Amino acid sequence: MLLEEIDVPYQIKTYKRDPTTNRAPLQLKEIHPLGKSPVVTIGDRTIAESALIVEYLSEHFAPRLIPSKWKTGCEGKVGGETEEYMRYRYFMHYAEGSLMPLRLLAALSNDSKDYLNTNLATHFAFLEEQLSSAPNGGPYICGKTLTGADMMLAVPVLLATGGWGKDFGVEKSTFPKSFAYAEALKEVGSYRRAQEKVATLEGEYSA
């Protein structure tokens, strides 16, 4: 989604996990020693970790995805940042630091269902409140414009509202704003183009 949004030429190379160990293949470890994915290579620079990738590409190719940092007249002052910018910085890290691990835990084991039910309910209640109080009425997490934070949230939110979260209590009737947010993300042109590109590459698109 981000690569489509910044509108620069790029190539995708996919790597399949080892079918026996389910670990990163050796070819990916040649690119990054930890076998991290996603990884972006620009020239001779290799960048791993999703938040860093989004921040780096946004800064260099699409600064419009980063909200204005300072309130008028408060440049450089502690506490002088705009609400939009502080939300952006927070949700850039929240997506992987707090929300996505629950998705990974769900994929690994059903024995932790009670833990997941409680924590997903907490997180989606939090997202409901945040979406309700989004600056300038939303519809995105930081306000009226799409930011890198929305792109970081897209994966866990779309996965949860798209099906896997149902087994753990993530229901549209309980979290309507989160589901509406997911639909808004799916309407973004870059998201649809990314789906089409993956489908062309892999034969189909599947979250």
pLDDT digits (tens, 9 = 90+) for 4-47: 999 999 999 988 888 887 788 888 888 988 888 899 999 999 99
What is the CB neighbour count within 10 angstroms for residue 149?
A: 26
Is 116 in contact with 106 (CB distance < 8 Å)? yes
Residue 152 DSSP label: H
Entry pTM? 0.77
CATH number of 83-190: 1.20.1050.10
Dist. CA 131–CA 181, nearest whole Å: 8
Q: Tell the CATH superfamily of the 2-66 domain.
A: Glutaredoxin (3.40.30.10)
Residue 207: the pLDDT is 58
